Amino acid sequence: MDDLESTYASLRAQITETETRLAALKRQLDSAEKTLAEKGTNETSAATSDGQQSPRKWPLLAEEYRRYGRQMIVPQIGLQGQLKLRSSSVLIVGAGGLGCPAAQYLAGAGVGTLGLVDGDVVEHSNLHRQVLHRTRNVGKLKVDSAIESLKELNPHPKYVAHRAHLTPEDAPEIFKNYDIILDCTDNPATRYLISDTAVLLGKPLVSASALRTEGQLMVLNNPPKPPGEKSGGPCYRCVFPKPPPADSVVSCADGGILGPVVGTMGVLQALEAIKVITGYGSADNTNGGLPASPSLHIFSAYSSPPFRTIRLRPRRANCAACSADATVSLESLRSGSTDYVLFCGSATAPSLLSPEERISAKELQKTFGDGTDGFENRGPCTVIDVRDNVQFDICSLDKSVNIPISKILSSAPQPTSHDGREQSGLPDWVPAEIATGSEGPIYVVCRQGNDSQVAVKKLKELGLDREGSRFIGDIRGGLRAWRDEVDPEFPDY
């Protein structure tokens, strides 16, 4: 055992030493790249004082011609398009599943300045889809991790890190320095904030979202006309005047996400940004392209065909952000009087049960451990797991029964009893062992302790609590609490 611990300590020390040397080499590389870029810039200046060196004949560096050559020979780009990309500045809000591929392709395309806004750190659960981040950067700020990778891809652009979550007070000051905005976030409140700020500052906005196997994409406020100008492109509020109910918003952590799906949407955001920057569809477009009408593009990975497009209406006459009677202003943003969290509703799930209707993970462990239920031994307990079948197959508690919350909420009571049950009118999903005369307690568990509360309410509505004589409650914090308080080896997905 001592030899194994010694070997482990030695390997960790070697890894630490190697990482230190690697960090030093990266700093040297950054310095060399900056020197090279400065040298290249100086080469484009006028002739030297002695008159022996003439001005540069070509607008790009020799290395840039080699790097972007395959792109510039595309008719829609050309040299002029490449010069527009080089002089452009793009802000990406969110350095996650959408922001990573978008940033990767914009940096590769030669965008002059690329800013990233994010206050989160890299987690292991990000790595399957957030392709700029690396395992070694777990715990590091996402913007720093992303910029580290982007510099390795292309040292020419200027990268700007905004190491915080976007707020109404800061958004105008950040946005004003960029030509186009990419919304790569995953919550409604931030989406409305980004759109409002883009409209007020006259910035085109490329917005995308992705969940499970589906994604959506829109180019908004394009052309970016002032509020009240009917010829301007619609904004996010024009498409979604009212936010969805807070309890209907599903995050990637709860609903799941397939990496290539969110990657597809992020790549499409980069493509749309390049089209806007190079003037595709604008009045001075020299490439012969027709102006594209505002559209909502819907991607479904498991449908055939996977893409469909819905044409969007023009700006709404009563839009709170882009109409002549707009109520959102830069002053209301900077002062904080526009409360986006209040507008969209709290994302925190309310507690539906009283403290007496909930038990801790440790209390459930005692029930499993000593064969008692803690409630006067009224009979064997039943543990109902209300996650969907896919999550239940990943991991589950011993002795638990899987009844997805979707089935609990969608089923209707049956008119007659089945299988000799004492109670009639119970749905088919109710297990026979709890529908009969058993008085054993029922514990409901889910992933984080939210759906389980809803299920408890439903079970009591069905009368399974025997008018209060049988305990029905949930596990506070769900399976996450079970892992934290009872079993550290329980899978964290």
CATH of the domain at 236: 3.40.50.720
Catalytic residue, candidates 184, 344, 381, 446: 446
Q: Is 381 assigned a ligand-binding role in the annotation?
A: no
Catalytic status, residue 381: no
Q: What is the pLDDT of residue 55?
A: 66
Average pLDDT by stretches of 10, the chain with 493 residues: 72 76 71 58 44 71 96 96 98 98 98 98 97 97 98 98 97 97 96 98 98 97 95 96 83 87 98 96 54 89 96 96 95 91 74 92 82 47 94 94 92 51 70 78 94 93 88 95 95 92
- Which of 344, 366, 390 marks a domain boundary? 344
The amino acid present at 242, given as its one-letter code, is K
| DSSP single-letter state for residue 356 | G
The answer to whether the beta carbons of residues 401 and 445 sit under 8 Å apart is no
Residue 253 is predicted with a pLDDT of 77
CA distance linking residue 444 with residue 454, whole number of Å: 10
How confident is the model at residue 46, as a pLDDT?
40
| Domain encompassing residue 91 | 62-344
Residue from 100, 184, 252, 344 carrying the catalytic annotation: 252
127 belongs to an annotated ligand binding site: yes
- pTM for this entry: 0.80
Same domain for 85 and 226: yes
184 annotated to a ligand binding site:
no
Last residue of a domain, one of 344, 365, 381: 344
- In contact, 163 and 119? CB cutoff 8 Å: yes
113, 168: one domain:
yes
Residue 64 near residue 52 (C-beta atoms within 8 A)? no
Is residue 299 within 8 A of residue 265, CB to CB? The reply is yes
306 shares its domain with 380: no
Active site residue 252: yes
Domain count, the chain: 2
Residue 493 belongs to a domain: no
Residues 455 and 335 in one domain: no
CATH of the domain at 388: 3.40.250.10
**Which pLDDT score is estimated for 425?**
72
Query: Does residue 414 share a domain with residue 274?
Result: no
